[in-house]
Amino acid sequence: MNLIFLGPPGAGKGTIAAELKKKLPLDHLSTGDMLRSEMKEGTELGKMAKGYIDEGKLVPDQVIIDMVEKRLAASSGNVLFDGFPRTVEQAKALDKIAKIDAVINLAVDADVVVARICSRRICRDCGAVYNTNWHSGETCDACGGALYIRDDDNESTARKRFDVYMEQTAPLIEYYDKQGIVHTYDVSESTSYVAEEVAAMLESGK
């Protein structure tokens, strides 16, 4: 079973994916996490990716596709794609190496996305994600690590990334809708219900 999460930065893809993994045997393949790992290690790929991400742009297709194919080879065969594909060309490339069973489309508007991103905090040690709306501390509840703000978690970059998503990634909804595998959920108010509904949908086979 292979799933794709679609939605702009800040839609809650990572949070929902973490909850869904508790219910279903899925490998969470987050291209964002992979790229951040490369940047943290200071690799050539990481340095190149950082330049694009800091400007709110997408990393070139071939770099992402090669990285995803490598991770797929090491996966269990049940993958939840988060942050990939981001363009129709990437989707066509993915079709050649994996069968997609369902696409989860998280619908949310720009103002909600900006508010969430600007309130986001990340644990330096384990990568857990927090939001100042419900977590006022400066350390991670899970491991005690210090929380920090990503360089690109600001209003200007957040709005630019939303615009890039709408221009380059939103067309994927139409691409996959033609295959009859898109399931849309409104996450403007809350994301807490989505994992339950997605799990029920997948288990029912609909």
pLDDT tens digit string along 38-59?
Answer: 788 888 878 888 888 788 887 8
Among 3.40.50.300, 3.30.70.100, 3.30.420.10, 3.40.50.2300, name the CATH number for the domain at 2-107+154-204. 3.40.50.300
pLDDT at position 4, please? Answer: 95
pLDDT at position 65, please? Answer: 83
pLDDT at position 103, please? Answer: 95
pLDDT at position 33, please? Answer: 79
- The single-letter code of the amino acid at 177 is D
Whole-Å CA distances, 32 to 173, 183, 190 = 20, 22, 22
Taking 70 as the pLDDT cut, the residues of the chain under it are 205-206
From the annotation, which residues make up the binding site for AMP? 31, 36, 57-59, 83-86, 90, 150, 161
pLDDT at position 18, please? Answer: 83
CA 53 to chain centre: 14
Whole-Å CA distances, 72 to 2, 69, 165, 178, 187 = 11, 5, 24, 25, 28
From the annotation, which residues make up the binding site for Zn(2+)? 123, 126, 140, 143
Q: Is the peptide bond before 85 cis (omega within 30 degrees of 0)?
A: yes
Q: In what order do the strands lie in the sheet with 147-148?
A: 129-131, 120-123, 147-148
Q: What angle do CA 92, 181, 70 make, to 5 degrees?
A: 40
First-last CA distance in the chain: 13
pLDDT at position 205, please? Answer: 67
Give the residue numbers annotated as catalytic, written as ranges: 13, 86, 120, 150, 161
